[in-house]
Structures are given as structure tokens and as C-alpha cells.
Amino acid sequence: MRLYMQIQNLPRHLGQHSGGMVMAKGRLDEVVPLEPASMPGRVVIQWDKDDCADLGLIKVDLLGLGMLAAIEEAIPMIRKNEGIEVDLAHLPADDPVVYRMLNEADTVGMFQVESRAQMASLPRNAPKKFYDIVVQVAIIRPGPIVGGMIRPFFDRRQGKVPVEYPHPCLEPILKRTLGVPLFQEQLLRIAMVAANFTGGEAEELRRAMGFKRSMERMHEIEKRLRDGMTKNGIGGAAQDQIVKSITSFALYGFPESHAASFALLAYASAYLKARHPAAFYVSLLNAWPMGFYHPATLVKDAQRHDVAVHPIDVNHSGWMCRWEKGGVRMGLRFIKGLRETTAKTIEAAQPFTSVDDLAFRCRLRDDQMTKLAYAGALGSLGLTRRAALWQASKAAKPAGELFEGGARATSPASSPLPEMSSIQETAADYNAMELTTGAHLLEHYRKALKRDNILTALDLKRIPTGRRVTTAGAVIVRQRPGTAKGFVFLTLEDETGMSQAIVSPPLFREHRATILGNSGLIVEGILQNTGGQCSIKAEKFWPLHGVDGVSSHDFH
């Protein structure tokens, strides 16, 4: 145990920051030891980032964001197809459509404000100007949550309680955020004003907040905070409140400058979704994997916003998604098991006149043809799904091939296979692509669900809080945040939208196999309807059979 405690919190292994750079005025190797990295042409500093900061070296961290890639693709797409120049530096500052979407938590696909917790809090915050988005980005973080800052802020924001300050001397610092400390800069200023911290001590506090194992450092600083506040006559509940606010930020809190930068991207993504939705969804699907939701959910969200989403097709689809007639043409990349080289060969050889023409000119194997047919990608060749499977199997077989003038001779024959039903086609879509551009899975079961008084997500929005309700949906998110005391949150999706289920720890233990083992669930419980954001305090669960192949964002 003695040896164990001696090595506790020491570095475990050598690691390289994927986007970290250090700069110096002169030769860096005269200041710090360097060594070659495993990647050719790269060099690693032998000290960690904190040692570099102590020495005063300039350290730059480059953050890779999928939303930046999506925006980079969307802007020239809008210019080409809509003839509109979008300038991120001069977006309309107070676009009413953007703020309406934010107030309604219509934020699927938007940067930083699309999670369940963000959606639940957006109607309470009701953003009306840009700084409200800055606050929104910063408040749904472990620091403010553990510090107990969220409910006081929203109650004050909604005028339910008056704005108060832990001490009168803090009003200039906290007035902008209604007396609730939300940003790292505020905490540093509080320490300097309330506890007489020097600039150096405030810098030590800032670094403790940003340090991965900073709880121990924060405990050391807490005593100095309390001593300083006691000297300034701040004690009792006010002192406890200030200390709790500061120490909670060791669990992760935002600098205001960081929140403002993220809020700018959040606003830009919201503007693109509101004003240029086709380009927004095309670029978002092309930037995937990123964000909170699977492409299946993005496709359904696009359709609910009246954006046409065209299925994958060998005559119209490229490897990536495309803009087509003001809508989205899905890309071949979403067919499971189809290689990029194969897809780009198809893209380069378009158009095709028949299945035989496709198989011959692209030199496709039987399994490749079957993947395309099963995904419904041969629709423009005049074939139904089962007929396409039959023709694809024949076209890819080398036996008995007849060629005339370098092309395969076609010998069309009707398929002996029975045609797929609509629900079979949807199931095939999910098996082949994990998404569908056709009917949502839940639409196929709606008549039966309606007979059992099982409500849609849209129905829930019309029902007041406190009613016992039953709803059903495909599970697209399962979450158990570290700050939620063991509660599990489920996001259910049906053809009308999304709803949430809140599962207590004992209920999760009781129904764990059902909740984790089924792609579709029926949930009964007490409705909580806040600003149109509906969640059910779950009491009972049943599996929704037939809903298979749905991808979910689980416990990330």
C-alpha cells in the first residue's frame, strides 16, 4: 500500500497530444529535450504540458470539430445551388427563425445544443440574443451541474425568484449571469475580490480547474479561499456557496471565451439548418461520424423539416451524399460492406441502362451486386427490390455470358420471388444501411399501437404534466451521466419526433435486460411536459418487437 500510494497520480505512460504544438522564439531544442515521434517528420517534447506552461512556453491546442468540416462543405454548396453567399463573419445577428428553433429545442444536428440535457433546458432558458446561447453552451456542464447552479439560474431567468448575490461585492462580477457563476473567468475574479487572491494565486486556481486530477489541488486551495473570505467578513452560507461554486469547476467548467467560440458555431449551424436545410443535412451526413445522432435520425429529422431525402441509387448517388433538387441524395457510403473503391467506380461509370450493364462495366461480384440490390439501389433501372435481387444474382454470374461488341447481352426474365411488403422493405433498409428514406419503423405499427392507447411523441406535447401516459419508440440514445446519481435517460424516436424516458436506478436494475436488449421499447409512466419538451418518469417497460437494427448512441 505504501508503494502504491507513492506512485498514485504519477504519469502512467508516454503519450502524444494529437493536436498540441509548442512554440519558442529560438531553437526549441535549446530549451527543452526533444525526441522523434513515431510518425515521420514529427517531434515530441519530453516534458508534459504543465511543465511547458511553468517554463512559459507558448502551447497551442488544435481542436478538431466535425461541425467545422460540415460548414466548410455547406457554404460552397449553397453558393453553387442557391446562388447565395453565406459569410460566417456577418450572419444576421437576431434571426427570428433561429431563435424560434432554439426555443422549441428543435436542435437535432446543431453544434453543442442537440443533446437530451440541452434540449430539456433550452425552453427554460428561452434564448433571445447571442449571449443567451453562450450561457446555454456553458451551463450544461459537470461543473455547473454539481455546483447546483442550473436550477437557480433558470428560475431567475424565468422570473420565478429574484436575482441574488452570495455577497454584495460580487454583483459586478455576476450581474451578467443573474448572480450565478457560470464561467471560469468569473470564478477567478471572485477569488481575487472575495478572498484577496493575487494574480499568481488566481492563475494557480485556473490551472487547478483545468488539471485532470485537480480535485486534490482544489482541496488545497479551498483552505486559502476560506481564510481570505473570513478576513473579508464573508462567512457562513455565503462562504460555503462561493467555495462550492469554485471547487465544482474542477469537474469541468467553461471559460467564457471558449463558450462564446462554441456559441458562434452553434448559431452558425442553427442558421444553416433554418435557412439552408438541404445543404445543412448533406454536409452533416458527409461529415459523419460526428455529433450526437446516427444518420438514421438525421434523415428523419430532415424529412420532418420538409427536406426531400432521395434513396441511394446507382444512377444518381456518389460515394458521398449530394444536393439534388433542393433535397438530399443519399450516398453509397451508407451501404454496409460496400467499399469506397467500388462505389467510386460506379460513380465514375454512371449512367447505367440495365443490371447487366452495371455488372459488366463496373466488374461487380455477386456479393457486391446483392448489397446494392438489397439496399434498393437499383430502383432507377425499373426494378422492385426482389426483382433487383433476382436480376443482380443473374447478372453477376459468369456462367453462360454472351457478349456482343464488348457488352453483355441482356436476357430479361421476370423474378419468381414474391415482392417485399412495405415493412419488409423498411427492415431491409435497416439491415443494409441502418437507415431508411421511406416510412419510419414505427409507422408500420401505429395502428396496433393506437388501439392500445400508446401515444406518439407529438401527442405527448398536447398533454399536461402529471398525466399517466404510455408511449413507444425506437431507442436512439441511452445515457447515464456521472452527475445524474445513477439515473438513466432514454431517447425514443417515432415517426412524429422524439421523447425522453427517465429511469431511476432501482427501475434500471429491475429492467436492465429489457432496456439494453431491445431496439424498441414501450414505456409507461408520469408525463413531465416543460415547454413542449416531454419526458416520462418511467414506471414500466415492455419490448416493442419488430423494431430491429436501430443504431443508438449508448453511454458516451
Domain, as residue range, for 345: 308-433
**412 lies in the same domain as 540:** no
Does the pLDDT of residue 549 top 70, yes or no? yes
Across 423-432, average pLDDT: 93
Find the range with the poorest average confidence among 31-45, 236-250, 386-400.
386-400
Would you say residue 100 lies in a domain? yes
Write out pLDDT tens, residues 249-270.
655 667 899 899 999 999 999 9
pLDDT at 521: 95
The strand ranges marked E within 436-519 are 468-479, 488-494, 497-503
**119 lies in the same domain as 253:** yes
The domain tally of the chain equals 4
**423 lies in the same domain as 484:** no
**470 lies in the same domain as 519:** yes
**40 lies in the same domain as 150:** no
pLDDT at 403: 44
**423 lies in the same domain as 322:** yes
**116 lies in the same domain as 235:** yes
pLDDT at 411: 44
**513 lies in the same domain as 383:** no
Assess contact for 150 and 220: CB atoms under 8 A: no
Does the pLDDT of residue 163 top 60, yes or no? yes
Query: Could you tell me what percentage of the chain is helix, strand and coil, using 3-state DSSP and rounding each to the nearest 5?
Result: 50, 15, 40
Which is nearest to 327 in space by CA: 111, 77, 91, 550?
77
pLDDT greater at residue 488 or residue 218: 488
Give the predicted TM-score (pTM) of the model. Answer: 0.87
Q: Three-state DSSP class for 56?
A: coil
**Which CATH number covers residue 490?**
2.40.50.140
CB atoms within 10 A of CB 1: 5
Assess contact for 16 and 44: CB atoms under 8 A: yes
**103 lies in the same domain as 250:** yes
Angle at 522 between CA 447 and CA 108, to 5 degrees: 90
Assess contact for 149 and 245: CB atoms under 8 A: yes
Which of 409, 433, 457 delimits the end of a domain? 433
Please report, to the nearest 10 degrees, the dihedral formed by the alpha carbons of residues 91, 94, 95, 99 taken in order.
Answer: 120
pLDDT at 253: 66
Across 268-295, average pLDDT: 95
Assess contact for 301 and 101: CB atoms under 8 A: no
Helical spans, DSSP H, in 141-255: 142-146, 150-157, 171-174, 184-194, 199-210, 215-231, 236-248
Does the pLDDT of residue 10 top 50, yes or no? yes
Would you say residue 270 lies in a domain? no
pLDDT greater at residue 89 or residue 148: 89
pLDDT at 469: 96
Would you say residue 273 lies in a domain? no
pLDDT at 251: 55
Does the pLDDT of residue 405 top 60, yes or no? no
Which is nearest to 179 in space by CA: 210, 157, 203, 206?
157
Which of 391, 406, 433 delimits the end of a domain? 433
pLDDT at 399: 43
Would you say residue 79 lies in a domain? yes
**Which CATH number covers residue 394?**
1.10.150
Does the pLDDT of residue 400 top 70, yes or no? no
The helix or strand, by DSSP H or E, that contains position 437, with its residue range, turns out to be none
Length of the chain: 556
Which of 13, 38, 61 delimits the end of a domain? 61
Strands 533-543 and 497-503, bridge-based pairing: parallel
- Cell numbers placing 264: 458562434
**315 lies in the same domain as 333:** yes
Would you say residue 363 lies in a domain? yes
Would you say residue 48 lies in a domain? yes
Would you say residue 301 lies in a domain? no
Would you say residue 194 lies in a domain? yes
pLDDT at 206: 77
Across 361-365, average pLDDT: 92
**155 lies in the same domain as 6:** no
Across 43-72, average pLDDT: 86
3-state secondary structure 315-384: CCCCCCCEEECCEEECCHHHCCCCCHHHHHHHHHHCCCCCHHHHHHHHCCCHHHHHHHHHCCCCHHHCCC
**342 lies in the same domain as 317:** yes
pLDDT mean across residues, the chain: 88
